[in-house]
Amino acid sequence: MSNLLEPSRIFLAAESIEYADHSVVSKTIVKKQTGNISLFAFDTGERLAEHSSPHGGWCKYSTAKSKS
């Protein structure tokens, strides 16, 4: 299993994923047998498709404008 978070390091989610026009971009940052943590970047008007998982879900969102 992989873990892209480094102990004792500051993790800035907004700097860890890129936005793409007309797309949803996802990046798994923690992958364990007990569950995963993924980042998502949504362009305006995009949304996440319905899906299921054997693990509980949690969502934290923030809004930001692309730097381009």
Residue 23's domain spans which residues?
A: 1-46
- 9-35 as b/e, with b when 16 or more CB fall inside 10 Å? eeeeeeeeeebeeeeeeeeebeeeeee
Mean pLDDT, residues 31-52: 87
Q: How many CB atoms lie within 10 A of CB 41?
A: 19
Per the domain annotation, does 53 fall within a domain? no
Quote the pTM value.
0.71
User: Given this model, what pLDDT does residue 50 score?
Assistant: 87
Number of domains making up the chain: 1
Per the domain annotation, does 18 fall within a domain? yes
Local confidence band at 67 (pLDDT 50, 70, 90 cut-offs)? low
- Res. 34: pLDDT tops 60: yes
User: Given this model, what pLDDT does residue 23 score?
Assistant: 92
